A and B are shown apart, each in its own frame.
Chain A
């Protein structure tokens, strides 16, 4: 095996592919097209930057909680967030269905706690399918809490008065009562002062792990599978080039040279890798824009996608060598591609599949690749998991190269 000659072979195939502009346009267009279709179907429009959609359950119904709701929703539809006041049940149901960026629960007694300076906890449930929007909400809440804290320190008296209003008298409380309350509150805060340096309210963020997969956002769940749908189609299309080489007689000629046929297989696969890397980068950049994926995760994601794509290409090459004609190869390809797409999370995301299907799907090469790609994009990949998937796919690739090379030397030309 000669690396130089593998590179020369890859260059040769890239040139040939480059001149077949139609195929190139189709392959580049597949993820765009499918992505657009799905985003239309699921209404998760790429490119439109969505506003955080905050669901609030106000269990307190106090002045403070109402002020908070008003503040978060200030500016109406143009403002920072779309705010829906909902009941506890409705809020939980909607966040579980992925409708909304986050669910904020303002607990009973919040208003009093703020005024009295006692700790309170806001429960924020975020939608894991959205990354940045819930973070924006959380950030804002934390700032808000600090504002409340400093406000209290500076204007304890006024707040105390407010506490008086809240105690149910309505209108103005009588001076004596307010004064008494103020003194009370002041003494209380004074006493707590040493402990108050950290914000008095903590905002607790719970990442919901809901059974219903759609909670994560259908588009985001679909996207890795869609990328692999186009990688599978590319692998299928590129593998058919072995038949072209057979028909053009160049494979025959290659076999009469002193080069091992593995050079040809690897060169072709390298050319496919380069093309798939191009498609993956474009698709991932679009996905990152639509679903707010951290850019730092993209290089590894692109590398992984194109590596697994190249393994799929090797598999299709090996498979096609056992067909009896180009037509047979393409029928064989179709017969294999659709079950793979189905099991491997390209038609339905794993999250929407029955357990047995997921279990089977993760043992397909593309399914394995899709689940690792998801882990990378979610930022939850681990060295062990990704490493062993890499080894498994490398093993598959090695077997495919060996079987393919053997078949090219024995029998492929005379079928």
Chain B
């Protein structure tokens, strides 16, 4: 349904996307998980035909986005990261306009607009100018505008940012509902829980590169059964590293004078041993966190950094 091959996008000297490849199948939700600035929106921009790739290719249902843009865009629905709505128009008028942009008209258009309004729970507020809507309501309408023309491929760029918990829950359900109806979904987010909850497959993206990809289970397996231990305090990086490397079944993920990240089996049981070894080289530990295997710990393991919002 969507084929992205070795996509590269540069803004001048800055390489925002550095050779990304993935594909999205009908009825599946593919997640791009990564921190701010990782290149998610840029990838969405290239997929939607908004910006020409520097190199590489994007094909939607076999239509190349650059050379067959119009055919490709017909199949595409987009829920942009920034809300994209006419503030002076009502929800119904906003939906009507975007439906018309995809060729719907007359009674078909009106029916579909009503249906989508119901879907996102805005039927009773459909005729108000949306200037008065809350952030969550606008987000839901923003989503509705992306699906009003029944696209085969849906692109969602961090659709739940700044949304209250109820709206977020509803939005995630709606996305899953789209997939159940056979729509292929590309879903970007920097929320681990979201990615773990809705995505069938995932690509973890950092600095324009997909650093790990696969199903949730495959990704968990990459981490092994190991926990992730993070220690902050004052260390001498060299000697601390030495001390940790001496231990069995531990892997030093990252090491500096303030922070140590260690992947290890049965973390909770082996904490005293670790403390003792570090104490022996004069390290002062201020804070300890131990994480069970998760996408987050995988991300930290892969990049040495936490996935910040």
Contact = CB atoms under 8 A, between A and B. Distances in A.
Interface in A235-278: 248-250, 252-259
B100 A258 contact: no
A12 B102 CA distance: 15
Contact of A5 (B50, B74, B76, B100): B100
Interface string B55-76: 0000000000000011101101
Interface stretch (A14-22, A90-98, A280-288): A14-22
B50 A256 contact: yes
A248 B85 contact: yes
B261 interface: no
A132 B73 CA distance: 62
Given A5-B100, A8-B100, A250 B86 contact: yes
Interface residues of B, number: 30
B88 A257 contact: no
Contact of B50 (A16, A20, A255, A259): A255
Contacts of B49: 255-256
A8 B80 contact: no
A16 B86 CA distance: 8
B212 to A, nearest CB: 29
A413 interface: yes
Given A8-B97, A19-B129, A248-B85, A258 B102 contact: yes
A414 B86 contact: no
A413 B74 CA distance: 21
A413 B51 CA distance: 10
Nearest to A257: B101
B258 interface: no
Contacts of B262: none
Contacts of B102: 257-258
Nearest to A8: B100
Contacts of A16: 86, 88-89
Nearest to A413: B50
Given A256-B49, A414-B51, A19 B88 contact: yes
Interface of B: 11, 48-51, 69-71, 73-74, 76, 78, 80, 82-89, 93, 97-98, 100-102, 105, 129, 145
The 9 A-B residue pairs whose C-beta atoms are closest, nearest first, are: A249-B84, A253-B84, A258-B73, A257-B101, A16-B88, A256-B48, A19-B88, A8-B100, A258-B70
15 contacts: A5-B101, A15-B89, A15-B93, A16-B89, A19-B129, A20-B88, A248-B85, A248-B86, A249-B83, A256-B49, A257-B73, A257-B101, A258-B73, A258-B74, A258-B101
